[in-house]
């Protein structure tokens, strides 16, 4: 997830990088700011009870996919994550999804896909690319090794690299092609904000699978209109990627934190957007990864107070809703 920003402003070169995602700078979206001021939804006790029942039923049926980072309270990107911790966190979400998305192939995260496969998940495996060439090389070698070992069902070469302006299109294309050449038979794609696939047709063309992050929240959209708006994001990607597999690699709604234009974080809003998104995905056969499995306290530094509250489970592994 990237950081919030103005509609046409580039992400600053000093923007922090991280081995996890979870929110969307609306840079490049023409719709940002058109929603008006934030207005909190009003929920009656009866409506809350009904929503809780819908949420529980939805979670029991299962989420198409979950974005997974195994960090515990006090941990952050750069910390070495042990296998046992990864396995424990995956066991928590195991009854509720068939796919997990990981974000990095260094610092212990390279073991997530193997452990996930052992537990019966399918995997979308990411290589986190940024401005450090040495780290990028480790990530690329790591994701190739993971996939060659048979533990990647889809590979993502980079996450919002173009949005952050961490490298040029040509550099990114070279990395994507290198991974594709190394992994014949494995679907390879790239993750970015939906509108970046419109702006970079060469990247879109290079992808076997187009991995689109769609965040109505970070474009100031009221929760009541969020599903419809997210659907337009997906339609825009499909329009520039005809015939290609399009996956919603991230979407979600925070349950706490500060408003963003017309978007209001709330417990009920997060639950309703989850229910709406999963119903749409189930009815339409849409591949969607919910952001995120767990809250991540470290993200406050990158995204403000709202950054810590995108999970279905809290940092201790307790389910937050229902």
Per residue in 243-273, pLDDT (tens digit) is 999 999 999 999 999 999 999 999 999 999 9
CATH number at residue 267: 3.20.20.80
CA separation for the pair 309, 299 (Å, rounded): 9
CA separation for the pair 310, 269 (Å, rounded): 11
CA separation for the pair 103, 279 (Å, rounded): 26
**Other residues' Cβ atoms within 10 Å of the Cβ of residue 224:** 14
pLDDT at 38: 81
Among 316, 318, 303, 322, smallest CA distance to 256 is for 303
Number of domains in the chain: 1
Position 75 in a domain: yes
| pLDDT under 70: residue ranges of the chain | 1-33
CA separation for the pair 319, 299 (Å, rounded): 19
Per the structure, the complete domain to which residue 266 belongs is given by: 48-308
Tokens of 178: 């290198």
Strands (DSSP E) along the chain, which ranges? 65-67, 99-102, 122-127, 154-159, 188-193, 209-213, 245-251, 288-290
Position 256 in a domain: yes
Position 61 in a domain: yes
Q: At what angle do helices 169-182 and 133-148 cross, to 10 degrees?
A: 30
C-alpha 219: how far from chain center: 16
Dump the DSSP string for 84-122.
HHHHHHHHHHGGGBSEEEE--SSTTGGGHHHHHHHTT-E
């Amino acid at each position: 997830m990237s950081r919030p920003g103005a509609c046409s402003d580039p992400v600053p070169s000093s923007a922090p990088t991280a081995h996890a995602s979870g929110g969307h700078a609306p840079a490049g979206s023409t719709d940002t700011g058109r929603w008006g001021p934030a207005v909190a939804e009003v929920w009656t006790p009866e409506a809350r009870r009904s929503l809780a029942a819908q949420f529980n039923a939805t979670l029991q049926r299962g989420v198409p996919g979950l974005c997974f980072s195994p960090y515990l309270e006090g941990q952050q990107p750069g910390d070495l994550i042990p296998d046992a911790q990864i396995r424990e966190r995956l066991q928590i979400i195991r009854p509720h999804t068939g796919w997990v998305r990981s974000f990095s192939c260094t610092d212990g995260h390279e073991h997530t896909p193997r452990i996930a496969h052992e537990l019966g998940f399918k995997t979308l495996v990411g290589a986190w690319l940024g401005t450090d060439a040495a780290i990028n090389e480790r990530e690329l070698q790591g994701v190739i090794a993971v996939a060659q070992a048979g533990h990647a069902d889809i590979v993502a070469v980079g996450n919002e690299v173009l949005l952050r302006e961490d490298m040029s299109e040509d550099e990114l294309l070279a990395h994507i092609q290198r991974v594709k050449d190394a992994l014949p038979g494995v679907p390879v794609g790239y993750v970015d904000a939906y509108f970046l696939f419109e702006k970079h047709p060469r990247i879109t063309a290079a992808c076997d699978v187009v991995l689109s992050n769609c965040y109505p929240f970070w474009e100031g959209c009221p929760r009541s209109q969020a599903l419809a708006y997210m659907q337009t994001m997906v339609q825009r990607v499909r329009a520039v990627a005809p015939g290609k597999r399009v996956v919603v690699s991230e979407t979600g709604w925070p349950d706490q934190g500060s408003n963003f234009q017309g978007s209001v974080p709330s417990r009920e809003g997060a639950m309703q957007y989850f229910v709406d998104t999963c119903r749409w995905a189930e009815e339409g056969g849409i591949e969607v990864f919910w952001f995120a499995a767990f809250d991540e306290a470290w993200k406050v530094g990158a995204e403000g107070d709202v950054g810590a509250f995108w999970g279905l489970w809290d940092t201790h592994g307790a389910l937050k809703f229902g």
